[in-house]
A and B are shown apart, each in its own frame.
Chain A
Amino acid sequence: MSSEYDTTKTLDVKGQSCPMPIVKTKQAIDDLDAGDVLEVVATDSGSMSDIQGWADGTDGVELLDQVEDGDLYTHYVKKTE
């Protein structure tokens, strides 16, 4: 799955709940360069709506995709600037 987006880094936030997936995603994105793609793997079902809301409301990031697979919610976030 990750090869589809050529992910630069994977962030594992499995078992963590709100607001951790968002806060850690933001921190991980800060450490990346423009053009990099972050893969976020979460078990928090609220992360589907939250990551989307965060990406919409935040400059310099673009949500490429969100994949729901059983109990796993995987998000692909690109740093655009």
Chain B
Amino acid sequence: MSTDNQSTTDADADPGSDPETEFDAAELQALRERVDELEESIADAETGDDQKKMTIVATQGSFDMAYPPLILGSTAAAFGWDVVVFHTFWGLDILHEEKSKNLKLSAVGNPNMPVPNAVAAIPGMDRMATRMMEKKIDENGTATIEELIELSLDQGVDLQACQMTIELMEYDEDDFYDGVTTGVGAATALQHMAESDIQLLV
């Protein structure tokens, strides 16, 4: 430090000796402000690194496809992550208070079903397959879709309902669970995806 003082004195005495070290008051002030700015942005970046972000896009509204985004979303929230689940097309039904309680498992075209497609196509088979699955879920101690939605919202998961598909499906904003974010579109989803560590399409 003492040499710094010395060199300043020298520069004052002889301005021509080292023009590189000469700053006028305005330049010094600008530099100080720039340093403050950079320190702030570094602090912000460090804070930002602490919290992981995840964006899930939920496009499916069948009983089985409602589970993965809800389970991953609520678990990520337990990790303290910032989570957005963007629901679009049939994914909207997961957030629809009435429809979410009647989501169906499709028996047709599902190779894991114990019956051939010709049998699965018989009216009422979807309902039967769904009932069987619901029974298994209850026996296994797996949470219901409604429980997982409430849990996710309680934990601060941002469940978003795509505005374009709300209108396309002729749903009303009041049809959704309290706490669901409406009035958002693809740009909002993309913005969060760009900032996310994890992005999933379900």
Contacts and interface: CB of A to CB of B under 8 A. Distances in A.
Interface residues of A, number: 17
A25 interface: yes
Interface stretch (B20-28, B139-147, B177-185, B186-194): B139-147
Interface stretch (A32-40, A54-62, A68-76): A54-62
Nearest to B140: A17
Given A23-B151, A23-B155, A16 B141 contact: yes
A8 to B, nearest CB: 19
Interface in A7-35: 15-20, 22-23, 25-27
A72 to B, nearest CB: 14
B80 A23 contact: no
B141 A17 contact: yes
Q: Is the interface of B mostly helix, strand, loop or mixed?
A: helix
A43 B139 CA distance: 13
A22 B141 contact: no
Interface in B98-140: 140
Nearest to B52: A57
B65 interface: no
B81 to A, nearest CB: 9
B75 A19 contact: yes
A9 to B, nearest CB: 17
B141 A59 contact: no
Contact of B78 (A16, A25, A44): A25
B77 to A, nearest CB: 8
A24 to B, nearest CB: 9
B181 to A, nearest CB: 21
Nearest to B154: A27
Contact of A19 (B50, B74, B80): B74
A30 to B, nearest CB: 10
Contacts of B74: 19, 23
Interface of A: 15-20, 22-23, 25-27, 43-44, 54, 57-59
